[in-house]
Amino acid sequence: MTRPAPQFAAPHRRFNPLNGEWVLVSSHRTLRPWQGGTEESDETMAAQSHDPDCFLCPRNQRTSGEFNPDYEHTFAFTNDFPALLPNGSVERDFESPLFQAETTSGTSRVLCFTPDHGRTLADLDRPGLRSVVDLWCAQSAELGRQYRWVQVFENKGDAMGASSPHPHGQIWASNFLPSHVATEDNHQRSHLEANGNNLLVDYATAEGDQETRVVVENNSWVVLVPYWATWPFETMILPKRHILRLPDLTDDDRTDLTDVLKRLLTRYDNLFTTQFPYSMGWHGAPFHAESQDHWQLHAHLYPPLLRSASVRKFMVGYELLGEAQRDLTPEQAAERLRALSDTHYADARRVHVT
């Protein structure tokens, strides 16, 4: 039985063992009046299944001059404006250690989730969503043969800087570990060396015992609001057994991942009856390295909305100069998400109209 979520009245700090940082929790601030700015709802996004002016729709021409194939499920291609190049270089015309630079190599790909311009991951059916999971796994395996780090991610919605409303994500692969990843690598390795156990396997077990921050789960996966969450409705997706990377997922793992993704993303949209913006990304063990048993595959989801479809959280002031701070406790956020329906609000409306 789920234990009642503790309600913290007094400000307190929580420690994030993945990155060694703290977050200030000030739940009493949710009572303060709001007179700040708002964001437009994403309900204005185009609903047509094909947009002739969209660079990602099937058969359309991109800015590179290339035409997209008439794809029926998913489609991946090298970004026309990649952040990483296979043969990077940097000039070193100074000797001071205060001015350091290094060469990089990598590639960037765009992942079209569906040919339907008017869909999002949240309202794809399960076969369509499973195709996306398989694409993540296949692309990770392919790029992992060449690059040390493969970063799968999605920016959804204008509020998170998405460059196109067409449902898509990206992969940036590189010969180096990005800073946040290197930090997670160090802390997971230290935990294994000190305790003999995997940090996130231990954490998923502990969260399952408490249940207060669990949103949805099934045989293979648990979705929870981390104890140390920074964003108001931040969540983490964790496997219940030790898995290093996306390509390691079995057929059952992928089916169960499709299930929890569908249920979580539906709840996000239902929370404020809007196409909920977020940044989502997968972290798994680096490729081409020594033993990676300290790693556990996991996904981070960082949504900005705070009070409604038009009120978002801003990381400013104290957050930029001091440390992360949140008003809603992780337990309160999990409770709200957990209570929402598995039926998408748009589907419920269509049934009601019918």
CB 305 within 8 A of CB 277: yes
Terminal Cα-to-Cα distance of the chain (whole angstroms): 37
Q: Residue 104 carries which side chain, given as an amino acid letter?
A: T
Q: How confident is the model at residue 267 (pLDDT cuts 50, 70, 90)?
A: very high
CB 351 within 8 A of CB 227: no
Find the length of the chain: 354
**Range with lowest mean pLDDT among 60-69, 87-96, 235-244:** 87-96
Residue 5 reports pLDDT greater than 60? no
12 is catalytic: no
Per-residue pLDDT, 17: 97
pTM score of the predicted model? 0.92
| 291-346: pLDDT as tens digits | 999 999 999 999 999 888 888 888 889 899 999 999 899 999 999 999 999 999 98
**Which residue, 66, 145, 80, is CA-closest to 108?**
80
Per-residue pLDDT, 44: 44
Rounded CA gap, 102 and 85, in Å?
Answer: 14
What's the maximum distance between 2 C-alpha atoms anywhere in the chain? Answer: 72
Residue 88 reports pLDDT greater than 80? no
Structural domains for the chain: 45-90+102-353 (3.30.428.10)
Catalytic residue of the set 117, 166, 168, 344: 168
Measure the CA dihedral 148/152/158/162, to 10°.
Answer: 60
Per-residue pLDDT, 16: 97
Which residues, listed in sequence order, are joined to residue 312 by a DSSP beta bridge? 305
Per-residue pLDDT, 106: 96
